[in-house]
Structure 1
Amino acid sequence: MTIRVGIVGATGYTGLEAIRLLLSHPQAEVVVATSRADAGKPIAEVHPMLAGRLDLELTQLDASKIAQTCDVVMCCLPHGASAQTVKELVQHGTRVIDFSADFRLSNVPLYEKWYGVTHPWPERVGKTAYGMPEFFRDQIQDADVVANPGCYPTSAILPLAPLVQNGLIDASDVIVDSKTGVSGGGRSAKLAMLYCETNESIAAYGVGNHRHQPEIADLVQRISGTELDVTFTPHLAPMSRGILSTIYTKPNQASAKDVMQCWQDTYSDSVFVTPVDHLPATKHVAGTNFVQMTVREAGKRLILICAIDNLAKGASGAAVQNMNVMFDQPESTGLS
């Protein structure tokens, strides 16, 4: 079978990464790529690395035409704008993997509190499959819309959810300290992302009010059935890609050995989540869909460490993994 894929908002880093991965997918073909600002240009003019690899002209967004030619669309638009586009695509009969936060959270008030916009399709909030096959594979398989997870939440949910679910840690006292590369800020020009601002520097941002905090808490509770009180602080690091999350927890009479066993049991069928003995680093997973995580005992705390690639398992790799589940392909197809 051939899976015809459209990329809406193809000029950003996640759009490029999705195309890069799909070009190695034996069953997928990128047939449409849209851009509001660069419509009419060859995609290789915007992404020179695609020269000789993808002969495609960027087009304006037309939901009806895209739905006629695509089996699935990866929507790489920002929150708010994405939901309206996703709604139109689904109404015209195609399936969508949405990269924005518009369908990740459980309810509309939570979304509107943290994102400050009126949701364009509130009926679907809390009724959309969350794109983490490790926990929601059955929902993803038949979904018309899949909410691709946030990058930071992926690095926190995967280590935390099984431990909370099995009562190994105190869910009322969790601290997530994360570092990411500058590609997490997108491709558009921003002062904070300039080379002279980021080189040889590391800086916290969104302290106490980052929008991924409620996603971490919401999804851990959805998976485990237990409310999570989490403090989340992100940092910008001088690297292109990657996330390293260091998570401070209080054990409920659990040891590091118990944590590793819990992870091994939970992810025994997972293609990509790998508990490891060594200390993970972003270089260990760069350019891949793999997740490495480990645990260390430190006084009264258990420290969890998780490394992912923010553009792969944190975005486009997860989208390809979700596409594989939706179209009954092995999860690792195009990602190995």
Structure 2
Amino acid sequence: MAKSRINIAVLGGSGYTGGELLRLLAQHPYVKVKIVTGDKAVGLPVSSHFPNLETFCSLVFQPMDLPKVTQSADLVFMALPHTKSIEPVAHCIKAKKRVIDLSADYRLCEQKTYEKWYGVSHSSPHLLRQSVYGMPELHRTKISRTKLVAVPGCYPTAAILQLAPLLSKRILKPDSIVIDAKSGISGAGRSPALPYHFPEAHDSMTAYKIGQHRHTPEIEQELNNVYGKTSVRAKGRAKPLTVMFTPHLTPMNRGILSTAYGKMTKPITTKALQDLYRRFYRNERFIRIREESTQVSPNQVRGSNFCDIAILADSRTGNIITVAAIDNLVKGAAGQAIQSMNLMMGYPEDTGLTSPGIFP
């Protein structure tokens, strides 16, 4: 497809993810943002919520008028809260617009699974079957052909990328996986709440939603897809892979550090694991395999679309340990969304996303 300039709408643009979308799109040579909506900020300049975008974005927040959106935009980013994107996505798809949804509303393939974990009915189950999980490293071809991308959650992005190579080669026991992840406070969104108040979160670390975090089925869905493609199946249906996932809130603005553990299916060395990961991600612009776990830190990927990964074989306990770091607002949200947009539109995949992380 020719690199023609396209018009963009960002729905729900007043939150942290919306702000990151606008920041990154301002550097993209092939797009023009035409509409930004924000229900609680209607009539205010975008720069009133994001002073960093002064001189980069002269738009004002508008109400969410879907007919106007579909008339003005070629592609729509949905940065709305979970459960609030179902109808707007369906409207835009019916209007034959490309849609990239950053909520969880179209990530899960099974309607019953979505309704169980999110507590609402899904009124467009046919679109669940049409949507493509927006992780280019695993679904690049499907993303390039679809009209609807569901951008992965931030925790699942790190967890899936750090575990996929192991499961693809069946060298990790699928019933042994433990994921221990820490996230910056921006992952909770921009709406004020007591746990994210500075005196509550500073000098603290808290585990939350143990065994019931909504990202769990998303992680399991995608890891089962990887494992199921290469697993040697016995007669009948194999038992689905499950994970134990515990998220933690940490006193930093942005970033995720995810540590995942699992039992080896056979003895293997750290060097062999590193070679496996380099082969698996050999053509991936945004995956960096690190020699040492101390090189994997949110402060090395802040503001960038990179995922850094380190791997260790612990022969004493028979475990494999992986560590991954991403910026939850970029590779875990807006950056990955733009990566998918580039694929959908036929642009070079890294367009607008090549900046290194900000350090210190």
TM bin (shorter chain)? over 0.9
Contact 1:141 1:328 in 2 (8 A): yes
10, 15, 23: which one aligns with 2:18:
15
268, 273, 279: which one aligns with 2:282:
268
Distance (whole Å) between structure 2 residues aligned to residue 167 and residue 248 of structure 1 = 14
Match of 1:295 in 2: 311
Deviation at 1:206, TM superposition (A): 0.7
189, 194, 198: which one aligns with 1:195:
198
SS at match of 1:137: helix
Contact 1:181 1:242 in 2 (8 A): yes
* Equivalent residue letter for 2:284: S
Range that drifts further, 196-205 or 32-41: 32-41
SS at match of 1:244: strand
Written as runs of structure 1 = structure 2, the 5 A alignment for 1:87-106 is 87-106=90-109
Q: After superposition, what is the alpha-carbon deviation per residue over 1:23-49, rounded to whole angstroms, capped at 9, x for unaligned?
A: 111112111100112111111112222
Match of 1:258 in 2: 272
Contact 1:293 1:304 in 2 (8 A): yes
Match of 2:346 in 1: 328
Written as runs of structure 1 = structure 2, the 5 A alignment for 1:1-336 is 1-225=4-228, 227-253=240-266, 254-279=268-293, 280-298=296-314, 299=316, 300-336=318-354
Match of 2:236 in 1: none
TM-score, structure 2 normalization:
0.91
Range that drifts further, 66-75 or 294-303: 294-303
Range that drifts further, 282-291 or 270-279: 270-279
Distance (whole Å) between structure 2 residues aligned to residue 303 and residue 318 of structure 1 = 25
May I ask how many residue pairs the two structures share in their alignment? 336
Q: After superposition, what is the alpha-carbon deviation per residue over 1:287-327, rounded to whole angstroms, capped at 9, x for unaligned?
A: 00001001123322111000000000000000110010011
State, as a whole percentage, how many aligned pairs show the same letter.
Answer: 40
Contact 1:162 1:224 in 2 (8 A): no
Deviation at 1:258, TM superposition (A): 2.6
SS at match of 2:320: strand
Contact 2:170 2:227 in 1 (8 A): no
Distance (whole Å) between structure 1 residues aligned to residue 87 and residue 272 of structure 2 = 45
SS at match of 1:17: helix
Contact 2:160 2:222 in 1 (8 A): yes
TM-score, structure 1 normalization:
0.98
Deviation at 1:94, TM superposition (A): 1.2
Distance (whole Å) between structure 1 residues aligned to residue 305 and residue 320 of structure 2 = 26
Q: After superposition, what is the alpha-carbon deviation per residue over 1:173-194, rounded to whole angstroms, capped at 9, x for unaligned?
A: 1000000000000001011100
Deviation at 1:120, TM superposition (A): 2.2
* Equivalent residue letter for 2:347: Q
Distance (whole Å) between structure 2 residues aligned to residue 88 and residue 289 of structure 1 = 30
Distance (whole Å) between structure 2 residues aligned to residue 205 and residue 175 of structure 1 = 15
Q: After superposition, what is the alpha-carbon deviation per residue over 1:125-148, rounded to whole angstroms, capped at 9, x for unaligned?
A: 233111011111111112111000
Range that drifts further, 15-24 or 48-57: 48-57
Deviation at 1:252, TM superposition (A): 1.4
Range that drifts further, 304-313 or 267-276: 267-276
Q: After superposition, what is the alpha-carbon deviation per residue over 1:23-79, rounded to whole angstroms, capped at 9, x for unaligned?
A: 111112111100112111111112222112111011111112111211111101112
Deviation at 1:223, TM superposition (A): 2.5
Deviation at 1:278, TM superposition (A): 2.2
Contact 1:177 1:247 in 2 (8 A): yes
Distance (whole Å) between structure 2 residues aligned to residue 251 and residue 259 of structure 1 = 11
Distance (whole Å) between structure 1 residues aligned to residue 242 and residue 145 of structure 2 = 32
Contact 1:63 1:92 in 2 (8 A): no
Task: Extract structure 1 runs of 4+ deviating beyond 4 A.
Answer: none
Q: After superposition, what is the alpha-carbon deviation per residue over 1:205-257, rounded to whole angstroms, capped at 9, x for unaligned?
A: 01110011111111111233153221000000000000000111111113322
Deviation at 1:99, TM superposition (A): 0.5
Q: Which runs of 5+ in 1 are unaligned?
A: none
Distance (whole Å) between structure 2 residues aligned to residue 37 and residue 186 of structure 1 = 14
Contact 1:99 1:149 in 2 (8 A): yes
SS at match of 1:126: helix
Contact 1:175 1:230 in 2 (8 A): yes
Contact 1:74 1:99 in 2 (8 A): yes
